[in-house]
Amino acid sequence: MNKTIQLQDLGTKDYKETWEYQEELFKGIVDLKIRNRREELDLQTPNYFLFVEHPHVYTLGKSGDLSNLLLSEKQLETKGATFYKINRGGDITYHGPGQIVGYPIIDLENFFTDIHKYLRFLEEAIILTLQEYGIVCGRSEGETGVWLGAGTPFARKICAMGVRASRWVTMHGFALNVNADLGYFDNIIPCGIRGKAVTSLNVELGVEKVNEEEVKEKILKHFSTLFEAKFD
């Protein structure tokens, strides 16, 4: 079992280009697993973790409802945003500057074969990271992601998640609002959930800007502990 994860920080990158790159890495792992099975080999499968920041974009998951996007094509252009229907779970979400997006493309057979546990560990890595900033947060029953004030009238989501898995290989991942422009969320019904607000770490801390590199380091620290992995 290979518990080493190759870390790549892609900086700012177009959503579609990043999606195609994810698919390439994902296919490479799946193809190797198929070859291992077919030829009775035991070649190690690689694992990847991509950090990226996207220009303004809205993405709709395969089970999502297009009516949760509240903009026309022309309005999208005016706002400098793009839109894609994609192959992850979940409904509609927004990505943009000031948001840390993480895409673990890993072979869960190197760690554990349990998608539910995988999602809970993703959430836990973010929860533990935010706790280091004094943020009280957690899960909201029946709703994937990380929330503040869950179960209260002031519930607000700080981290969205949506993943795809096939043959125990994962792709897509999480989007944590760190210094995000929350106005862009007004153009959608985030994750298809009405009446729930969205927040960002800088807003909760009452500061203009949070050091995103520091947040990334904390996420990786907690991710590696939970998954008993090491980053290369």
Q: What is the pLDDT of residues 77-122, one digit of tens each?
A: 899 999 998 878 778 889 999 999 999 999 999 999 999 999 999 9
78 labelled binding-site residue: no
Q: How many domains does the chain have?
A: 1
Nearest to 53 by CA among 216, 229, 232: 216
89 annotated to a ligand binding site: yes
pLDDT band of residue 191 (cuts 50, 70, 90) is low
Higher pLDDT, 121 or 194: 121
- Residue numbers annotated as active site: 191
Beta-carbon neighbour count of residue 111 at 10 Å? Answer: 21
Q: What is the pTM of this model?
A: 0.94
pLDDT at 89: 72
Q: Which domain holds residue 198?
A: 4-231
**Phi and psi torsions of 35, nearest 5°:** -65, -45
CA distance 58 to 157: 16
Here the CATH number for the domain that contains residue 146 is 3.30.930.10
Round the average pLDDT of the chain to a whole number and report it.
Answer: 94
Strand locations in 92-218 (E): 92-95, 99-105, 138-140, 143-148, 156-166, 169-177, 197-198
Q: According to the annotation, is 54 in a ligand binding site?
A: no
